[in-house]
């Protein structure tokens, strides 16, 4: 039998490796920025065109590369960061696998210019699809410039899987934020389609956060500092009242490397327990310094997950440090046992005497008295004591009045209730029966001929609101209610940009914007069906949906807005409904065009027949 195992060609192996390293343009941005940081640069520029699909360029003023290093850097498993396997557990740099540039060059057109400080001229290297096209001497400033053009030009299937430009740009900005927050001592500038998106000068950590997320962020931050033998924590957490519905402002950095950790995130959530509203997520920007030997970075291709030797200890230290900071800065409620003298009652004064009360000790309300009943009238007697007479004297004469009234009206017939006939025939009279029942303030059960319906009240109300909003936006003319005082909301520059993109559609729904600046949104009118208190929640939900790739080529902005508003305004799980509200929701649901699913294509109700119930008792 012939041999069937063979070695892959280098260009195929590189393309396979590129599938792990380069998932989208944001992956290229991450790798190039980290290489620039490892090169010792203190000023880095990122240039993007068409969400990175056309161009991703990183320019730094680092130490640069020699002619040999420039050529060797594009070979697989070529790196200057590690030499032995033990070095993997002593890493203090970003890139160390030696596959980033080789993988990028396998699926794009790459142009590299680099020069060391002592050299008079630099090197220009052009590579297309792993093949070196040219290598020349060039005049260039100190440092390195790498331009990645036409990403996935030779893998059209991968290019077709990329999302819209808005979504891909959002991922690039996220990677840019992660690298910039981890290194506030480095200047970062980002350009997108020729315009400057970010200009972050060298600063401290707090200023870097404010420069990225807006000046309003400064008042939301609570510092966290804790130093132990195992772990050193520094950074900030957001105040509970500024918590958002999305998880966009949650950053963990371990030894200046961004990571994702559901376990450590739970420690933060536990520290905020009792301080956040339902569905809200705390913001945090925390730097953790640990011994490199106690962590394993090389467990995930993107290096965003880290394995710790002792997670339980880190969990306890992190939770207590955040809790301590919240209590120290009077964010968390505490018990105060110091007595305030202003709250003392007057009873504590011993100088004042007891007030005296004068009473008539000879008064007896049950004492029998002689009274004249010659005339049928009500008499009031005042004894010598000056008090009221016996209580029975108040009823003297009432008996005679009752007899007299009976004599005067003896000939009058009174109509009793028994003689009144009912408007409806008793045989046709049907008592009102309850047709809906609420279970655990979550499900509504309604009876049908074949059995019963079990309806999810939150999803059902979403469907009802979604179709109402969609009808108002597309068919009816938008109705606005003017606000007595303009509503001012503060957002980050990136969130303002999203609102700016959706402004036209928002105005069609009934929103009226007076001001839309870099960090401030001022609203003077809202849709009739939207309460003023829900406006900020709706906009936050809308921004979160845009960031999480909800808008795709198949959905219009109007559809997205209707879904977001329905999600924000729908009744929540745990809300008690009256019988009338339950029946109205059921009737409204089945009046919809598609009552079976919610706007997110989730089932709104299920049916259970009598036969299925009978089988349960077999």
Structure tokens at 100: 């980033």
Beta bridge partners of 226: 233
**285 shares a domain with 163:** no
Structural domain ending residue among the three candidates 328, 362, 386? 328
Q: What is the mean pLDDT of residues 245-252?
A: 82
Residue 111 to residue 140: CA distance in whole angstroms: 13
What is the pLDDT at residue 471? Answer: 79
**125 shares a domain with 219:** no
Q: What is the mean pLDDT of residues 374-399?
A: 52
Task: Tell me the three state secondary structure of residue 448.
Answer: strand
Q: What is the mean pLDDT of residues 16-37?
A: 84
Read off the DSSP letter of residue 593. S
Q: Is the pTM of this model over 0.85?
A: no
Checking if the pLDDT of 569 tops 90, the result is no
Domain region containing 43: 10-200
Residue 264 to residue 256: CA distance in whole angstroms: 16
Give a yes or no: residue 253 inside a domain: yes
Give a yes or no: residue 381 inside a domain: no
**224 shares a domain with 111:** no
**133 shares a domain with 274:** no
**256 shares a domain with 124:** no
Token pair 């018990």 in the structure block, residue: 335
| pLDDT digits 0-9 by tens, 143-159 | 999 999 999 888 888 88
Neighbouring CB atoms inside 10 A of 74's CB total 21
Give a yes or no: residue 431 inside a domain: no
Q: What is the mean pLDDT of residues 388-407?
A: 56
Structure tokens at 557: 């902005």
121 Cβ partners below 8 Å, 6+ apart? Answer: 115, 137, 138, 139, 140
Neighbouring CB atoms inside 10 A of 380's CB total 9
Residue 217 to residue 219: CA distance in whole angstroms: 6
- Please give the mean pLDDT across all residues of the chain: 79
Q: Is 143 exposed, middle or buried (0-12, 13-18, 19+ CB in 10 A)?
A: buried
Confidence of residue 130 (pLDDT cuts 50, 70, 90): confident
**159 shares a domain with 273:** no
Residue 459 to residue 600: CA distance in whole angstroms: 9
Task: Tell me the three state secondary structure of residue 48.
Answer: strand
More confident position, 497 or 296: 497
Residue 548 to residue 373: CA distance in whole angstroms: 93
Report in angstroms the alpha-carbon separations of 292 from 150, 156, 178, 282: 37, 40, 20, 28
Confidence of residue 430 (pLDDT cuts 50, 70, 90): very low
Give a yes or no: residue 519 inside a domain: yes
Contact indicator for 45, 189 with CB cutoff of 8 Å: yes
Task: Tell me the three state secondary structure of residue 230.
Answer: coil
* Pair type for strands 221-227 and 232-238: antiparallel
What is the pLDDT at residue 423? Answer: 41
Task: Tell me the three state secondary structure of residue 613.
Answer: helix
**What strands lie across the sheet with 605-609, from one edge to the other?**
436-439, 443-448, 451-456, 605-609
What is the residue-wise DSSP string for 118-163? Answer: T-SSEEEEEEETTEEEEEEEE---SEEEEEEESTTTT-HHHHHT--
**141 shares a domain with 68:** yes
Structural domain ending residue among the three candidates 175, 200, 225? 200
**295 shares a domain with 220:** yes
**591 shares a domain with 455:** yes
**196 shares a domain with 268:** no
More confident position, 408 or 242: 242
**111 shares a domain with 89:** yes
**223 shares a domain with 187:** no
Task: Tell me the three state secondary structure of residue 452.
Answer: strand
116-120, 303-307, 397-401: which has the minimum mean pLDDT? 397-401
Q: How many domains are there within the chain?
A: 3
| pLDDT digits 0-9 by tens, 171-181 | 899 899 999 99
Confidence of residue 478 (pLDDT cuts 50, 70, 90): low
Token pair 């990225």 in the structure block, residue: 212
The distance of Cα 579 from the centroid of its chain, to the nearest Å, equals: 32
């Amino acid at each position: 039998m012939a041999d069937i195992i063979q070695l892959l060609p280098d260009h195929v192996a590189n393309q396979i490796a590129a599938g792990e390293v380069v998932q989208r343009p944001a992956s290229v941005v991450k790798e190039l920025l980290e290489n620039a940081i490892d090169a010792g640069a203190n000023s880095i520029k990122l240039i993007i065109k068409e969400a990175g699909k056309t161009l991703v360029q990183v320019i730094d003023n680092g130490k640069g590369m020699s002619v040999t290093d420039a050529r060797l850097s594009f070979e697989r498993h070529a790196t200057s960061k590690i030499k032995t396997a033990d070095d993997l557990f002593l890493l203090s740099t970003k890139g160390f696998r030696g596959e980033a540039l080789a993988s990028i060059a396998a699926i794009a057109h790459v142009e590299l210019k680099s020069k060391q400080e002592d050299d008079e001229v630099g090197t220009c290297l052009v590579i297309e699809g792993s093949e070196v096209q040219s290598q020349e001497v060039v005049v260039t400033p100190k440092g390195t410039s790498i331009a990645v053009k036409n990403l996935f030009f030779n893998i059209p299937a991968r290019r077709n899987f990329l999302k819209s430009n808005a979504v891909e740009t959002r991922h690039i900005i996220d990677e840019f934020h992660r690298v910039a927050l981890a290194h506030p001592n480095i200047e970062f500038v980002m350009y997108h389609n020729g315009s400057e998106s970010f200009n972050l000068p060298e600063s401290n950590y707090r200023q870097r956060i404010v420069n990225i997320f807006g000046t309003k962020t400064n008042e939301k931050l609570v510092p966290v500092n804790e130093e132990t033998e195992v772990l050193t924590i520094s950074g900030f957490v957001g105040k509970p009242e500024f918590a958002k519905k999305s998880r966009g402002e949650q950053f963990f950095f371990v030894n200046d490397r961004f990571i994702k950790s559901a376990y450590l995130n739970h420690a933060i959530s536990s520290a905020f327990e009792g301080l956040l509203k339902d569905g809200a997520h705390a913001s945090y920007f925390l730097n953790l310094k640990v011994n490199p030997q106690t962590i394993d970075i090389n467990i995930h291709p993107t290096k965003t997950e880290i394995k710790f030797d002792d997670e339980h200890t880190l969990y306890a230290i992190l939770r207590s440090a955040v809790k301590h900071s919240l209590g120290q800065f009077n964010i968390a409620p505490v018990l105060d046992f110091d007595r305030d003298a202003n709250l003392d009652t007057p009873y504590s004064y011993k100088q004042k005497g007891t007030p005296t009360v004068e009473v008539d000790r000879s008064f007896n309300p049950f004492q029998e008295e002689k009274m004249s009943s010659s005339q049928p009238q009500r008499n009031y007697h005042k004894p010598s004591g000056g008090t009221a007479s016996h209580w029975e004297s108040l009823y003297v004469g009432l008996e005679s009045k009752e007899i007299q009234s009976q004599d005067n009206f003896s000939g009058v017939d009174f109509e009793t209730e028994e003689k009144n006939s009912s408007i409806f025939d008793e045989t046709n009279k049907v008592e009102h029966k309850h047709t809906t029942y609420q279970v655990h303030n979550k499900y509504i059960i309604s009876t049908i001929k074949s059995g019963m319906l079990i309806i999810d009240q939150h999803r059902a109300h979403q469907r009802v609101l979604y179709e109402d909003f969609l009808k108002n936006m597309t068919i009816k003319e938008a109705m606005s209610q003017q606000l007595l005082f303009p509503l001012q909301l503060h957002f980050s520059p990136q969130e303002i940009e999203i609102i700016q993109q959706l402004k036209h559609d928002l105005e069609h729904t009934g929103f009226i914007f007076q001001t839309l600046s870099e960090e401030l949104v001022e609203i003077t009118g809202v849709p009739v069906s939207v309460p003023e208190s829900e406006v900020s929640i709706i906009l936050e939900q809308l921004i979160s949906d845009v960031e999480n790739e909800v808008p795709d080529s198949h959905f219009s902005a109007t559809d997205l807005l209707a879904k977001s508003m329905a999600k924000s305004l729908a009744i929540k799980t745990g809300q008690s409904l009256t019988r009338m509200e339950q029946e109205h929701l059921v009737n409204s649901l089945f009046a919809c065009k598609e009552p079976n699913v919610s706007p997110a294509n989730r089932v709104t109700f299920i049916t259970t027949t009598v036969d299925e119930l009978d089988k349960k008792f077999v």
